[in-house]
């Protein structure tokens, strides 16, 4: 294997990442065939997870002991609480969900896994878990954006948001942060555990949007 610790993680878990990027939701979102009720449920649970991600990045900022380690996550946190939050606020009224409580309960697994890891292991787990989630999104959204199919404008906007240079730059910053983690602070076994657990939870999370 070549590259830093982040590249090794992606390589070791390539099959699981492929599976996460091939869930029904991703296939249908990419093809433009995602049913409207499923997209509405997705928006509901994804907005809830954006709050979780903001809390996680806040923990990273708190535990960073210098500007170099703090600024990338602070920028990502700013994106979550501005651009992404504004995205959801602007369309929430157009996509009501009748079974909101049940949908949120089915999708809670992702937040539960991420928050448990961060509570137990702090900044290294936060960075590794976010790397898993954001690597998945960078991959499937970049692939989807390259396919010119007819999608609802709200879905297309979400895909474009995760295929653009700002988001991809945040993913690159996460890779650099994971590369900088010392093995004494978090060994490969720990990184593997955190990375794989989040990808497995991502699969369950996205499956939860189908009624």
What is the pLDDT at residue 3?
A: 77
pLDDT tens for 50-96 read 999 999 999 999 999 999 999 999 999 999 999 999 999 999 999 99
Q: Report pTM.
A: 0.96
Per-residue pLDDT of the chain (211 residues; tens, 9 = 90+): 457 999 999 999 999 999 999 999 999 999 999 999 999 999 999 999 999 999 999 999 999 999 999 999 999 999 999 999 999 999 999 999 999 999 999 999 999 999 999 999 999 999 999 999 999 999 999 999 999 999 999 999 999 999 999 999 999 999 999 999 999 999 999 999 999 999 999 999 999 999 8
What are the φ and ψ backbone dihedral angles of 13, each rounded to 5 degrees? -110, 30
Domain boundaries, the chain: 5-207
**What is the residue-wise DSSP string for 70-112?**
HHHHHHHHHHIIIIIHHHHHHHGGGS--TTHHHHHHHHHHHHH
What is the pLDDT at residue 29?
A: 99
What is the pLDDT at residue 155?
A: 99
What is the pLDDT at residue 66?
A: 94
* Spatial CA neighbour of 185 closest among 73, 72, 69: 69
What is the pLDDT at residue 2?
A: 56
CATH of 5-207, one of 3.40.50.300, 3.40.190.10, 3.40.50.970, 1.20.910.10: 1.20.910.10
Rounded Cα distance, 185 and 102, in Å? 39
């Amino acid at each position: 294997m070549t590259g830093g610790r982040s590249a090794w993680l992606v390589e070791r878990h390539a099959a699981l990442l492929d599976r996460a990027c091939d869930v029904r939701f991703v296939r249908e979102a990419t093809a433009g065939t995602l049913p409207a009720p499923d997209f509405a449920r997705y928006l509901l649970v994804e907005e809830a997870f954006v709050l979780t991600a903001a809390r996680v990045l806040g923990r990273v900022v708190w535990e960073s002991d210098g500007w170099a380690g703090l600024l990338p996550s602070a920028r990502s946190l700013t994106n979550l609480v501005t651009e992404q939050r504004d995205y959801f606020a602007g369309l929430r009224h157009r996509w009501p969900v009748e079974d909101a409580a049940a949908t949120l309960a089915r999708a809670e697994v992702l937040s539960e896994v991420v928050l448990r890891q961060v509570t137990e292991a702090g900044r290294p787990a936060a960075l590794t878990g976010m790397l898993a989630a954001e690597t998945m999104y960078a991959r499937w959204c970049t692939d989807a954006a390259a396919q010119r199919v007819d999608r609802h404008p709200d879905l297309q906007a979400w895909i474009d948001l995760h295929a653009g240079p700002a988001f991809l730059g945040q993913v690159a910053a996460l890779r650099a942060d994971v590369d900088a983690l010392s093995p004494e602070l978090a060994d490969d076994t720990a990184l593997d555990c955190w990375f794989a657990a989040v990808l497995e939870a991502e699969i369950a999370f996205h499956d939860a949007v189908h009624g």
